[in-house]
């Protein structure tokens, strides 16, 4: 999709940036194919692949039947044969039917074949709440996939990061689950370099530097955390870390920060129990125990099914809850 005047003036959205990364990688590497439900003629359920079938044709931007297990399984087959497939699963809840293929096949072939067969596949999945959708269309299952050895799990929240990380994912030799926070799809624009570039998978980003407390988060929650920081008194110095890659986790960035600040609040949309925040909290106590000035806190979704939209904003961690947790942790 060519850059429009709007894009030139105001920058790209997450959708534009992902679309551009896909286009550039498809030009660069003929092994890259897209497949999914309505990704071609209709441009995908969130119009992320808009225009790509016109450019690359129906053999490379493939409209599939509605069959997630089949989509995922055949993408794995393509990857086994040396292609670079990018299946799109319309919503994170629809990973359910494809779960067997993704976790029992894609994640394990390198290990099962001792490296003889690998799966260079990038699974694109819109993720998370905040768009007034019901459950299955608003969930945050990243911990489930991070708990599956053999999968890399990425969740960028800015257009610049999305373009660079998606490019890196496509070029990665192993399967990557690329979660796209749908709440951010069109709600934020920024200038994105037009040329192709990569951002390494497994590298967190320090969004703002600080000395009093570390906030670790990812996905759409990054924006809630920024809003929460705005609510705090000006003399409070917060270091905000956007994880960007869930797995492999960038332990160094977190440990360096928490050893400096001594306090940490972790924020994520997924239910609290066994959420990825639990893993981070555990890693912090293993690596920063003597530096801690307060218990590590988690602000998360609740251990319930994602509610329908009238209660959605009560479920999702908002800036108020985050600010309260930060204040309590600072006062500990």
Partner 1 sequence: MTSVANSPVNMSLTPTKTTAAQPSKRTGPRASDSLPPSTLVRWLRDMFLIREFENRTAQAYQQAKIGGFCHLYTGQEATAVGTIAALNPDDPIVTAYRDHGHALARGMDPGACMAEMFGKATGCAKGKGGSMHMFDKPNWLFGGHGIVGAQTPLGTGLAFAAKYEVEVMKRGVDGGPAKKKVSLAYLGDGALNQGALHEAMNLAGLYGIPVIYIVENNGYSMGTSIDRGTTMSEDLRKKADAYGIRGEIIDGLDVIDLYDAFKPVVDWCRENQKPAFVDLKTYRYLGHSMSDPQKYRTKEEVDQYKAKDSIDRLAAHLMEDRKGADGKPVLTEQQFMDIQTEVKATVKAALDFAEASPIPDESELYTDVFVNPQPNLSPTCEYTHGAKNPLL
Quote the CA–CA distance of 214 and 196 in Å, as a whole number: 32
Region of residue 128 (left: phi > 0; alpha: psi -120 to 50; beta: else) = left
In the bound state with partner 1, the residue whose beta carbon lies nearer, of 212 and 312, is 312
Select from 156, 145, 224, 118 the least CA-distant residue to 12: 156
CA atoms within 13 A on the CB side of 21: 29
Q: Output phi, psi for 160, to 5 deg.
A: -65, -50
Judged by CB under 8 A, does residue 320 bind partner 1?
yes
Q: Is 303 in the site for partner 1 (CB under 8 A)?
A: yes
Q: How far is the CB of 115 from partner 1 (least distance, A)?
A: 28
Contact status, residue 275 vs residue 306, Cβ threshold 8 Å: no
Query: What is the rounded CA–CA span in Å between residue 115 and residue 135?
Result: 38
- C-beta separation of 262 from 133 below 8 A: no
Residue of the chain from 16, 20, 25, 37 that contacts partner 1 (CB under 8 A): 37
196 is a contact residue toward partner 1 (CB under 8 A): no
By beta-carbon proximity to partner 1, the closer residue of 91 and 223 is: 91
Of 11, 51, 77, 97, the one binding partner 1 (CB under 8 A) is 97
Residue numbers 137-166 binding partner 1 by CB under 8 A? 137
Q: CA 54, 59, 61 angle in degrees (round to 5)? A: 55
Query: Min. distance of Cβ 308 from partner 1 in angstroms?
Result: 4
Whose CA is closest to 264, among 294, 289, 242, 301? 294
Comparing CB distances to partner 1, the nearer of 224 and 250 is 224
Report the residue from 10, 66, 113, 186 that binds partner 1 according to the rule CB under 8 A: 66
**Piece of the chain touching partner 1 by CB under 8 A; list 64-72, 143-151, 194-202, 248-256:** 64-72
Chain positions contacting partner 1, by CB under 8 A:
27, 30, 37-38, 41-42, 45, 55-60, 62-63, 65-70, 93-94, 96-97, 132-137, 272-273, 302-305, 307-312, 314-315, 320-321, 324
């Amino acid at each position: 999709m060519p850059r429009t005047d709007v894009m030139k003036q105001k920058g790209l959205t997450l959708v534009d940036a992902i679309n551009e990364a896909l286009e550039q990688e498809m030009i660069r590497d003929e092994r890259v194919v897209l497949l999914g439900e309505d990704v071609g003629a209709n441009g995908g359920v969130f119009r992320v692949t808009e225009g790509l079938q016109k450019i690359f044709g129906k053999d490379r931007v493939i409209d599939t039947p509605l069959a997630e297990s089949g989509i995922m399984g055949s993408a794995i087959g393509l990857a086994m044969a040396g292609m670079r497939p990018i299946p799109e699963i319309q919503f994170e809840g629809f990973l359910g039917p494809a779960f067997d293929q993704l976790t029992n096949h894609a994640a394990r072939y390198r290990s099962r074949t001792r490296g003889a067969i690998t799966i260079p596949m990038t699974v694109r999945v819109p993720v998370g709440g905040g768009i007034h959708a019901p459950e299955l269309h608003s969930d945050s299952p990243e911990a489930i996939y991070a708990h599956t050895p053999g999968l890399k799990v990425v969740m960028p929240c800015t257009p610049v990061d999305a373009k660079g990380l998606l490019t890196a994912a496509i070029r990665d030799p192993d399967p990557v689950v690329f979660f796209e926070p749908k709440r951010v799809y069109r709600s934020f624009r920024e200038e994105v370099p037009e040329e192709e570039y990569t951002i390494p998978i497994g590298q967190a980003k320090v969004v703002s530097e600080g000395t009093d407390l570390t906030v670790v988060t990812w996905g759409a929650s990054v924006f809630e955390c920024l809003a929460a920081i705005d609510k705090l008194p000006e003399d409070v110095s917060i270091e905000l870390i956007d994880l960007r890659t869930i797995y492999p986790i960038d332990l160094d960035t977190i440990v360096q920060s928490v050893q400096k600040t001594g306090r940490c609040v972790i924020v994520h949309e997924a239910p609290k129990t066994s959420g990825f925040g639990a893993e981070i909290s555990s890693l912090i106590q293993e690596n920063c125990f003597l530096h801690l000035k307060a218990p590590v806190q988690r602000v998360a979704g609740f251990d319930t099914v994602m509610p329908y939209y009238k209660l959605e904003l009560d479920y999702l961690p908002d800036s108020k809850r985050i600010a309260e947790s930060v204040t309590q942790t600072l006062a500990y």
